[in-house]
Amino acid sequence: MRVVFLYGPPGVGKLSVGSELAALTGFKLFHNHLTVDLVTAVFPRHSASWFRLLRRIRREVFAEAAREEADLVCTGVAKDTVEHIEAVRTMLEPVWARGGTVLFVQLVCAREELLTRVQSESRRARGKLVDPQALLEQYELFVTMPFEPHLRLDTTHVPPAGAATKIATHYSLPLLPKTVVFGG
């Protein structure tokens, strides 16, 4: 089992790149907002109950995926705290325990580009953070998680499909055969 863990600040393109990488490789996409939206429907965001349930659900998804040997692309943010790093380690522990591999990819882009991207209509439609000032106040934009193997990829001038190809090439991921369409 392999997990490609895409992380970076809100708006950097994790879901866009992750979607392209999943389409390229056939890996399943586990977007972090699937769990955020689920838990937020019941508990106040960032409450103790919210964090406990969010972390439990994510760990269980990874544990089941590891049992089934399902390859995943997942997305997340990084925070430079011991608590956050331990939460990531705990979430991914079932993968490592079953002999799986986690491949980390830090997505970054230029600050001005990030402030533009975070305001996109697609983010607004998904209920994601769209306020540039809140982004700057709540997130450190270039936090690097202390896990290996690790790739840092600047997406400022690279479209999502190009970023996905770079990740797949860097980590020698298997690619799905291209579909050829005949006729007109």
Handedness of CA 34, 101, 158, 28 (dihedral sign): negative
Residue-wise pLDDT for 84-125, tens only, equals 999 999 999 999 999 999 999 999 999 999 999 999 999 898
Whether residue 20 lies inside any domain: the answer is yes
Q: Which pLDDT score, from 0 to 100, does residue 105 have? A: 98
Whether residue 19 lies inside any domain: the answer is yes
Are 21 and 11 spatial neighbours (Cβ–Cβ below 8 Å)?
no
pLDDT band at 178, cuts 50/70/90? confident
Whether residue 177 lies inside any domain: the answer is no
Total tally of structural domains belonging to the chain: 1
Whether residue 179 lies inside any domain: the answer is no
pLDDT band at 179, cuts 50/70/90? low
CA–CA distance, 32 with 58 (Å, rounded to integer): 9
Q: Which pLDDT score, from 0 to 100, does residue 140 have? A: 87
Whether residue 92 lies inside any domain: the answer is yes
**What is the rounded average pLDDT of the residues 79-85?**
92
Whether residue 180 lies inside any domain: the answer is no
pTM for this entry: 0.93
Residue-wise pLDDT for 14-29, tens only, equals 999 999 999 999 999 9
Whether the per-residue pLDDT at 38 is higher than 60: the answer is: yes
pLDDT band at 40, cuts 50/70/90? very high
Q: Is the peptide bond before 149 cis (omega within 30 degrees of 0)?
A: yes
Mean pLDDT of the chain, nearest integer: 94
Whether the per-residue pLDDT at 182 is higher than 80: the answer is: no
How do beta strands 150-154 and 101-108 pair? parallel
How do beta strands 28-30 and 150-154 pair? unpaired
Q: What is the CATH number of the domain that holds 80?
A: 3.40.50.300
Structural domain for 106, as ranges: 2-170
**What is the rounded average pLDDT of the residues 69-85?**
94
Whether residue 128 lies inside any domain: the answer is yes
**183 or 175: which leads in pLDDT:** 175
Are 43 and 173 spatial neighbours (Cβ–Cβ below 8 Å)?
no
Whether residue 82 lies inside any domain: the answer is yes
Are 10 and 108 spatial neighbours (Cβ–Cβ below 8 Å)?
no
Q: Which pLDDT score, from 0 to 100, does residue 126 have? A: 86
